């Protein structure tokens, strides 16, 4: 396990009882350039056109990765934030549903999908499906933290790169 781990704060019962929240803000403050480099390793950037970041911690990480690798950045946002034309994907949460949106693409492209934490995988699965609906081929998914005990992404052979695995 990376020395990054000591800069992640585990916050019990946030935002809801029973959730142990991984607070990455101390890590971003102390080691930001190295974190961005680590998240960018193991990806064949020659086959990537853009970085897609998921609101909102995926913006911080994904935008810095795009800058490091000389790629453009596409934001994927919560419902109602982006102006039309948008393309949307609704997915099921523990209670109710949530919707992700992105601006409708004119041309096909190849992308890397970025977020901070992979937990159950509901968000990342919906994000990948939205990209595919929007003519964006997901070449890799890059996470800072993978809570592997909560999802089956590895077993399913999905192209997931994560720096810290629990």
Indicate which residues carry an active-site annotation.
57, 94
Residue 115 binds ligand AMP, judged by CB under 6 A:
yes
- If one asks whether residue 162 binds ligand AMP (CB under 6 A), the answer comes out as no
Nearest to 116 by CA among 72, 158, 60, 154: 60
Contact by Cβ (8 Å): 8, 27: yes
Q: Which of 71, 88, 99, 122 binds ligand AMP (CB under 6 A)?
A: 122
Does residue 22 interact with ligand AMP by CB under 6 A? Answer: yes
Residue nearer to ligand AMP on the CB measure, 108 or 150: 150
Show the tokens assigned to 141.
């998914």
Among 6, 19, 72, 78, binds ligand AMP (CB under 6 A): 19
By CB under 6 A, name the one of 117, 127, 136, 160 that touches ligand AMP: 117
* Among the listed residues 2, 7, 31, 57, the single contact to ligand AMP using CB under 6 A: 57
With binding defined as CB under 6 A, does residue 121 bind ligand AMP? yes
Stretch binding ligand AMP (CB under 6 A), from 61-69, 72-80, 115-123, 133-141: 115-123
- The DSSP result for 22-54, as a single string, is EE-HHHHHHHHHHHHHHHHTT--GGG--EEEEE
Q: Is the dihedral of CA 107, 57, 112, 29 positive or negative?
A: positive
Q: Helix %, strand %, coil % for the chain, to 5? A: 30, 35, 30
Strand 72-78 vs strand 50-54: parallel, antiparallel, or unpaired? Answer: parallel
User: Count residues contacting ligand AMP (CB under 6 A)?
Assistant: 15
Q: Does 101 bind ligand AMP (CB under 6 A)?
A: no
- The residues that touch ligand AMP, with contacts defined as CB under 6 A, are 19-22, 57, 115-124
């Amino acid at each position: 396990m990376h020395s990054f781990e000591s800069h992640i704060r585990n916050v019990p019962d946030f935002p809801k009882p029973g959730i142990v929240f991984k607070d990455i803000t101390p890590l971003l403050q102390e080691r930001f350039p190295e974190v961005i480099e680590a998240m960018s390793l193991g990806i064949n950037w020659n086959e990537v056109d853009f970085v897609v970041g998921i609101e909102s911690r995926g913006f911080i990480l994904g935008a810095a990765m795009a800058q490091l690798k000389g790629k453009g950045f596409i934001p994927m946002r919560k419902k109602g934030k982006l102006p039309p034309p948008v393309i949307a994907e609704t997915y099921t949460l523990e209670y109710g549903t949530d919707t992700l949106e992105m601006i409708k693409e004119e041309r096909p492209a190849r992308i890397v999908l970025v977020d901070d934490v992979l937990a159950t995988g509901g968000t990342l699965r919906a994000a990948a499906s939205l990209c595919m609906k929007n003519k964006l081929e997901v070449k890799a998914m890059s996470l800072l933290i993978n809570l592997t005990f909560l999802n089956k992404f590895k077993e399913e052979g999905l192209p997931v790169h994560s720096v810290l695995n629990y």
